Structure formats: C-alpha cells, structure tokens
C-alpha cells in the first residue's frame, strides 16, 4: 500500500517495550537520530517488529510540530 503520510523514515529497530495494550518502539533513522513510536501491541506482533528489523517510522505531516531554540 502507498500511503498519503508524507513522512516515512527508514531505520532499524533499537528497542521494543510491551505494555498490556500498547508497545513502545525506538527506531534509529540516522546515526544518533532516533524516533520513538507508540503502536498497539497487536500491530507490533502483526508486523513482526523486533530489535534489528528494518522498518519505517511513518508520520502524517499534520502531526509534526516545529520547535526553535
């Protein structure tokens, strides 16, 4: 499936932490640059997400804020 979400950053899963309903996944998208994602535990299992796997961190543009120093 091609998706309208403008952001799909390729990376490697660094950690997976499971709760009762949700899972927290950390993806390294560039050396020293990580993105943390919260998805349902079921999605995590359905996609076979585990440490070392190549995945995309996908974000809808309207969910991205801008910060300045």
Structure tokens at 4: 């309208």
Structure tokens at 15: 């950690």
Tell me if 50 contacts a second copy by CB under 8 A: no
Structure tokens at 17: 């932490």
Tell me if 51 contacts a second copy by CB under 8 A: no
Nearest to 7 by CA among 21, 22, 27, 24: 27
Tell me if 12 contacts a second copy by CB under 8 A: no
Tell me if 52 contacts a second copy by CB under 8 A: no
Residues that bind a second copy (CB under 8 A): 1-9, 17-25, 27, 29-30, 33, 35-40, 42-44, 46-49, 53-69
């Amino acid at each position: 499936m091609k998706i309208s979400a403008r952001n799909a950053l390729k990376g490697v899963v660094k950690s997976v932490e499971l709760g009762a309903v949700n899972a927290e996944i950390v993806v390294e998208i560039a050396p020293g640059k990580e993105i943390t994602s919260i998805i349902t535990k079921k999605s995590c299992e359905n996609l076979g997400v585990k440490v070392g796997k190549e995945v995309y961190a996908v974000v809808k543009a309207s969910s991205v804020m801008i910060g300045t120093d």
